């Protein structure tokens, strides 16, 4: 029994040691399994990272490109923001300038309205004064007897000639008012004839200017049609020359190379000598001839254009000179009043000289505006 007890105890101890060893081995196995699982997971992570590195190389390039694009877009946005701020400042300055102009115009309008009100008040005062004076005149006429009233009516200016003379121009009124004839209460017939002649001269001048404008337009249209017709004729002539040369080349037999070749070469050399230095020179004399014809047509067109421009400038200068002469004549005529009653012959001679000058000017403009 003691032996069996010892053996059981030994077995128990051994079993306990074996169990402890098994638990240690189980723990070590769990640790090693966990370690292996961690390594396996780390391996998977590394594999995933390698796959991601391989797969994201293109994405990195795309990201770099997108970053470059974003930088470029940021630069553009900054430039646009600067332009917007500059435009806003410019618009503010423009708005301020327009506000200043509007304020200035409003002030000018207010000043003009004030001056207009003053003028209206002055006109009203003058009208009241006129009514008062007319009332006084009527009262004085009522105080006079019949004979004195008839004498007063005889001294008044005649108003039976209608409203046509009252509706005259300012120039006619100036001429009629400038008459300084002695012992005459109204404008003399010479002054009236001078005013009528001046009005007629103005009408004739306006008609002459209208005829000159219409003639200039007609001449410009004629020049345009002439240039187009000449261009068409040149094209037709070039076409006919080409056809004639082709027919000549077809119908011409072969000739021995001798004096004719030397003559054609000399002609070709002369034609090439006429061409400018910057043109391409070929061996064919027909091409050089066509180039010379083209250059000639270009020069003719340039000359026609220069002639037309010079004609227009001459017409403008003539018109300006005529306007200056007419302005000077009008100023001299307005500043020098006519003494018509004592110098009727001089007035008539001046009127004849004015009419002659107008006719000469019209003839001169007509001759200058004729065809070239």
- Work out the average pLDDT over 281-306: 70
Banded model confidence at residue 264, pLDDT cuts 50, 70, 90: very low
Using an 8 Å Cβ cutoff, are 197 and 350 in contact? no
- Work out the average pLDDT over 77-100: 91
- Work out the average pLDDT over 59-72: 87
**What does the domain layout of the chain look like in residue ranges?**
1-31, 123-151, 189-249+262-368
- Work out the average pLDDT over 300-321: 73
User: d(Cα 119, Cα 296) in Å, to the nearest integer?
Assistant: 70
Give yes or no for residue 344 having a pLDDT over 70. no
Percentage, residues of the chain above pLDDT 90: 10
Higher pLDDT, 345 or 266: 266
User: Which of 8-22, 108-122, 194-208, 249-263 shows the lowest per-residue confidence on average (mean pLDDT)?
Assistant: 249-263
Give CB contacts under 8 A, 24+ apart, made by 197-204.
197/351, 197/354, 197/355, 198/171, 198/172, 198/333, 199/168, 199/169, 199/171, 199/172, 201/354, 201/355, 201/358, 202/169, 202/171, 204/358, 204/362
Q: What is the pLDDT of residue 353?
A: 43
Banded model confidence at residue 211, pLDDT cuts 50, 70, 90: confident
User: d(Cα 339, Cα 342) in Å, to the nearest integer?
Assistant: 6
Higher pLDDT, 295 or 34: 34
For 347, counting Cβ atoms within 10 Å of its Cβ (0-12 exposed, 13-18 middle, 19+ buried), the class is buried
Helix (H) or strand (E) holding 309: helix 285-335
Q: What is the pLDDT of residue 102?
A: 92
**Residue 22 structure tokens:** 């098994």
User: Which of 26-40, 196-210, 318-332, 353-367 shows the lowest per-residue confidence on average (mean pLDDT)?
Assistant: 353-367
Give yes or no for residue 262 having a pLDDT over 80. no
Measuring CA to CA, how many Å separate 87 from each of 76, 99, 183, 300, 336? 16, 18, 76, 51, 60
CA 190 from chain center: how many Å? 52
Q: What is the pLDDT of residue 240?
A: 65
Banded model confidence at residue 350, pLDDT cuts 50, 70, 90: very low
Q: What is the pLDDT of residue 370?
A: 39
Give yes or no for residue 318 having a pLDDT over 50. yes
Measuring CA to CA, how many Å separate 152 from each of 130, 183, 269? 19, 16, 103
**Residue 253 structure tokens:** 């037999």
E strands present in the chain: none
pTM, full prediction: 0.26
Which residue in the block uniquely carries the two structure tokens 């037709």? 236
Give yes or no for residue 358 having a pLDDT over 80. no
Q: What is the pLDDT of residue 50?
A: 79
Higher pLDDT, 218 or 351: 218
Using an 8 Å Cβ cutoff, are 293 and 238 in contact? yes
Q: What is the pLDDT of residue 263?
A: 45
- Work out the average pLDDT over 120-146: 81
Q: Which of 130, 190, 133, 186 is nearest to 160 (CA)?
A: 186
Banded model confidence at residue 204, pLDDT cuts 50, 70, 90: confident
Task: Give one word for 183, left, alpha or beta, with left for phi > 0 and alpha for psi -120 to 50.
Answer: left
Which residue in the block uniquely carries the two structure tokens 């391409």? 280
Give yes or no for residue 38 having a pLDDT over 70. yes
Banded model confidence at residue 246, pLDDT cuts 50, 70, 90: confident
Banded model confidence at residue 74, pLDDT cuts 50, 70, 90: very high
Percentage, residues of the chain above pLDDT 70: 58
Predicted confidence (pLDDT) per residue in 143-185, tens digit: 766 667 667 666 655 544 444 344 445 555 555 555 666 665 5
Banded model confidence at residue 72, pLDDT cuts 50, 70, 90: very high
**What's phi and psi for 280, nearest 5 deg?**
-80, 125
């Amino acid at each position: 029994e003691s032996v069996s007890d010892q053996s059981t105890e030994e077995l128990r101890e051994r079993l306990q040691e074996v169990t402890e060893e098994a638990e240690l081995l189980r723990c070590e196995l769990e640790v090693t399994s966990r370690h292996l699982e961690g390594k396996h997971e780390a391996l998977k992570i590394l594999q995933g990272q390698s796959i991601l590195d391989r797969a994201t190389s293109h994405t990195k390039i795309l990201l770099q490109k997108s970053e470059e694009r974003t930088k470029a877009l940021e630069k553009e946005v900054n430039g646009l923001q600067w332009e917007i701020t500059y435009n806003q400042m410019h618009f503010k300055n423009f708005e301020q300038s327009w506000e200043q102009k509007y304020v200035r115009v409003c002030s000018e309008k207010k000043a003009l309205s004030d001056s207009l009100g003053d003028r209206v008040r002055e006109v009203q005062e003058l009208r009241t004064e006129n009514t008062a004076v007319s009332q006084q005149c009527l009262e004085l006429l009522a105080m006079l007897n019949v004979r004195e009233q008839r004498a007063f009516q005889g001294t008044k200016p005649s108003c039976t000639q209608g409203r046509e003379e009252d509706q005259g121009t300012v120039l006619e009124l100036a001429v009629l008012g400038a008459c300084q004839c002695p012992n005459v209460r109204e404008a003399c017939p010479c002054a009236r004839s001078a005013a009528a002649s001046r009005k007629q001269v103005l009408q004739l001048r306006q008609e002459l200017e209208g005829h000159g404008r219409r003639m200039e337009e007609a001449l410009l249209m004629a020049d345009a049609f002439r240039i187009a017709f000449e261009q068409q004729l040149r094209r037709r002539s070039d076409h006919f020359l080409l056809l004639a040369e082709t027919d000549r080349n077809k119908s011409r037999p072969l000739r021995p190379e001798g004096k004719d070749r030397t003559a054609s070469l000399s002609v070709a050399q002369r034609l090439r000598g006429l061409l400018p230095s910057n043109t391409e020179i070929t061996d064919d004399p027909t091409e050089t001839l066509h180039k010379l014809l083209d250059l000639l047509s270009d020069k003719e067109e340039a000359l026609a254009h220069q002639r037309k421009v010079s004609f227009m400038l001459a017409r403008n200068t003539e018109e300006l000179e005529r306007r200056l002469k007419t302005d000077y004549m009008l100023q001299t005529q307005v500043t020098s009043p006519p003494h018509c009653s004592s110098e009727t012959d001089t007035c008539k001679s001046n009127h004849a000289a004015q009419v002659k000058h107008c006719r000469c000017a019209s003839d001169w403009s007509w001759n200058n505006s004729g065809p070239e």
